[in-house]
Amino acid sequence: MLIIEKVDRHSAAYRGGIRKGDEVVSVGGYPAVDELDLLYYEGEEVELCVRGKPAVRTLASDVSVRAESEVRTCHNHCIFCFVDQMPKGMRESLYVKDDDYAMSFECGNFVTLTNLKEEELERIIRLNLSPLYISVHTMDPELRCELLRNRFAGRIVDQIRRLAEAGIRMHCQAVIVPGKNDGADLSHTARELFRFYPNVLDLAVVPTGLTRYREELTYIPDVDGEYSAAFLDRADALNQEFGVNFVLPADEYFVKAKRPFKPAEFYGDFSQIENGIGMTSKFISDFRAAEERRARKKPARVLCVCGVSAEETVETLCREANALVEGLEAHAFPVVNRFFGESVTCTGLLTGRDIAEALLPVRDTFDEIVLPSDTMKSFEEVFLCGMTLSELKKKIRCKRVRVNADGGWGLFEILSRDE
């Protein structure tokens, strides 16, 4: 349901009798669904019809609306689903399995398209909702049905083709299950998707996130350094075959293979950075772009909290900062993830509880703590476990806790300044 929130009093819409609270029935002759209906006509005139009143032609910008429809949710039961591996008692929003193409277009959320009706596919094309972020996983229809445990999952091949032919740009991903959609199947998936390049812009390949809460779930093996090295070799060979950097491996494979990260240029505009693709390379690049000789007003011992997989990178950058900033003694402080399990090594899934318990025994050895903002909910100082930043400060008895929300550049700025 689409509801009128505001109407410009000098507009044709207002003169036509449209008022706040009216229910929008159709936009441009099509049934109203959500805010995207009006966004498509931004800057143009459109026929607007509200319930119980004659249709009016007005500028789309003359009215603002709100959607009262629910988020489209996931119809799959993926064997690698991360939500199924989370314990009880966390933030409620973490248990929502969204699979909404509108959120894919607006927010960059990945969707599987398995819940997509024909009229919704046609709407995506009509409104030119591009780019979309699509969880493909495999282009083998039978295997995709098996991985997603959804009998409609095999339609992805036709869906990708139709979207690409309509000019919709797509960022794709494959969550890799060893022995299933890696190896020859990954090569097949990459080649099938590359047929639609540049409308299919890239394929991110990420390892399955495995927590300690996998009781009664499908067994999925973790990957080691040897596996990761072979995986990276396959990705390199495919990119060489394509002549562009199309297959984008997650940073975790480089960490486990103990291989250097790709240069920042490899990732283009970092369109998949929220997927853990190129995050470390950008962090390093931004940090070094900010480097310059400085001096602190007061000497300080600073600990930079990070996940285990980021320890080497963060410690290297801390050493560089120590050499450039007089009075600084900074070090990486890797925190083992007890909450989700030690196999979870990324920084973004650290909880306040684990960070606090790790810091307590060493609280007399530092003056400041630097926390990466991705350990907390966006725009809120709340960790995944529900602990707030103020509660963390109280628990570790340290008021000098600074949150870095600006990546590598932000880390150097924090390390090099007192305030």
Tens of pLDDT along 291-347? Answer: 999 998 889 999 999 999 999 999 999 999 999 999 999 999 999 999 999 999 999
Alpha-carbon gap, residue 354 to 340, rounded angstroms: 10
Angle among Cα 144, 146, 152 to the nearest 5 degrees reads 60
Is 78 among the domain residues? no
Residue 39 CA to residue 104 CA, distance in Å, equals: 15
Q: Does 73 reside within a domain?
A: no
pLDDT for 76: 95
Please state the domain count of the chain.
3
Q: Does residue 313 lie within any of the structural domains?
A: yes
Choice among 83-92, 134-143, 201-210 with the minimum mean pLDDT: 83-92
In a domain, 252, yes or no: yes
Contact between 101 and 124 (Cβ < 8 Å): yes
pLDDT at 378: 65
Say whether both 209 and 351 belong to one domain: no
Q: Domain boundary at 277, 312, 327, which?
A: 277
Helices (H), 71-155: 101-107, 118-126, 141-148
Alpha carbon distance 286, 313 (integer Å): 13
CB atoms closer than 10 angstroms to residue 265: 10
Same domain, 123 and 272: yes
Residue 419 has pLDDT above 70, yes or no: no
Whether 74 is covered by a domain: the verdict is no
341 with 261, same domain: the answer is no
- Residues of the chain with pLDDT > 90, as a percent, come to 86
Cα distances (Å, whole numbers) of residue 267 to 3, 165, 253, 282, 396: 41, 25, 15, 9, 38
Q: Which domain holds residue 55?
A: 2-67
